[in-house]
A and B are shown apart, each in its own frame.
Chain A
């Protein structure tokens, strides 16, 4: 139970995927202009990460390890993630077309989101079991959601603040992201 708690806190705060591992920066910068779409993106990524953790764990343990082909990990995982994203896309297009339109190109881009591939490979290298893997996937997604929502909130405020012209837009956003990352490093001492 304790290790699960550690994974959750680690995934959300200490080893936040965006803020301290610097994975998944593309959607983090791309879909963070509005809080609503940021939440949508966060939920979609969380969903894909959790599911990907589950499926890759099963594939890795019962197929790749037994066949002695662990070296195929990266490729197989990418295939799994790509298929999952396709599935999520179909579901969203049918049931939540608003969110589907809002996410736009960033939804298929989850496929190449390194946070998702990152979590699946980290699950393997950390030697997590099934439950730990799924929890790690979910916590990583939740951490991503937290980071992107905080960032979107800040950017919404920044949009109405007086920036010099040359700082408007991405330069300001990148500096903000950097400062946020520094702030997140403060969680570093939370777990040893």
Chain B
């Protein structure tokens, strides 16, 4: 009998609390759906599905539930991401907007690097040329440079460089519509983020001599970039390095290591760390975090960043005093700078 009364008691209490909680969840649910409406209002409302959800409504509720990132809308960009972050009360500091994508040529094989196989005098069209013995270039992954992509581009963003038979894409003008991507018979154009620290400019998935015999600018799968990457962001897939953007820190060491410059790096915007010597307390945590031994200095004295900094920005997050900032560098990186760097004066 005791066990029945115990069960009844617990059941009754559980039921009572269940009812209270049920009522409370209804009471507060109104609030959270209001939040969804606010997020929905902040979105562009194109229902394009670019975020991977069925539409802006689904995306908005996914954001509020927390299963979608605030910066998931490719159309809205930074502005929208920041507004949504504000609405759901997330720290806007970690909002990294999804970047716009532009057409990118995955080939540097102009005739200066990649010799023509034969003299082509046919129709000036890549699709026609690619039928003849797999294209005019000795590398059969190469851009043929006859400008089929340029002819479909509605924005005049593609130009053909006739001297070396290679197309040149104006990244500023490109809108990322993807017409050239689908028309290219060599699939040598892909949509990639507008701003990238490094990118592989070759898609010849052959290895060794097969590539080097054809083209002096191609990736021949030596794997030096994989070893040069201290962050494990590069992986060899199908004889080509794949750079994982989420792990890439933009140190550009892969591009430095590449013997054929098949990895392009945005050296113009290469960054370097700079320590605010007033805020630095000399804890040397950054020194430990630096993979490139670019930080010198004695404990309890302000540390210095030498020219061997690669701009990977790992130290920035590690600094407990937030004394490290990143800036675009004005001079070249010098791997050996530490050896003759003076130990005093910052």
Query: Residues of A with Cβ closer than 8 Å to B?
Result: 59, 63-64, 67, 69, 72, 75-76, 79-80, 83, 86-87, 90-91, 93-94, 96-98, 101, 156, 159-162
Contact = CB atoms under 8 A, between A and B. Distances in A.
B322 to A, nearest CB: 11
A61 to B, nearest CB: 15
B108 to A, nearest CB: 44
24 contacts: A63-B9, A64-B9, A69-B6, A69-B9, A76-B9, A76-B13, A79-B10, A79-B14, A80-B13, A83-B17, A87-B24, A90-B24, A90-B25, A93-B28, A93-B32, A96-B89, A97-B88, A98-B89, A98-B90, A159-B285, A160-B283, A160-B320, A161-B283, A162-B284
Contact of B10 (A76, A87, A94, A156): A76
Contacts of B299: 162
A79 B320 contact: no
Interface residues of B, number: 26
Contacts of A161: 283
Interface of B: 5-6, 9-10, 13-14, 17-18, 20-21, 24-25, 28, 31-32, 88-91, 281, 283-285, 299, 320-321
Contacts of A59: 13
Given A79-B10, A86-B21, A90-B28, 18 more contacts: A64-B9, A69-B5, A72-B6, A75-B10, A76-B9, A76-B13, A79-B17, A83-B17, A83-B18, A83-B21, A90-B24, A91-B28, A94-B28, A98-B90, A101-B89, A160-B281, A160-B285, A162-B284
Nearest to B17: A83
A161 B284 CA distance: 9
Given A86-B21, A87-B24, A97 B90 contact: yes
Contacts of B20: 83, 87
A67 B9 contact: yes
A67 B4 CA distance: 13
Contacts of A160: 281, 283, 285, 320-321
A-B pairs, 7 with minimum CB distance: A97-B89, A83-B17, A160-B320, A160-B283, A94-B31, A90-B28, A94-B28
A59 B90 CA distance: 39
B224 to A, nearest CB: 30
Contacts of A67: 5, 9
Nearest to B12: A63
A86 B88 CA distance: 20
A87 B90 contact: no
A159 B299 CA distance: 15
Contact of B283 (A63, A87, A101, A162): A162
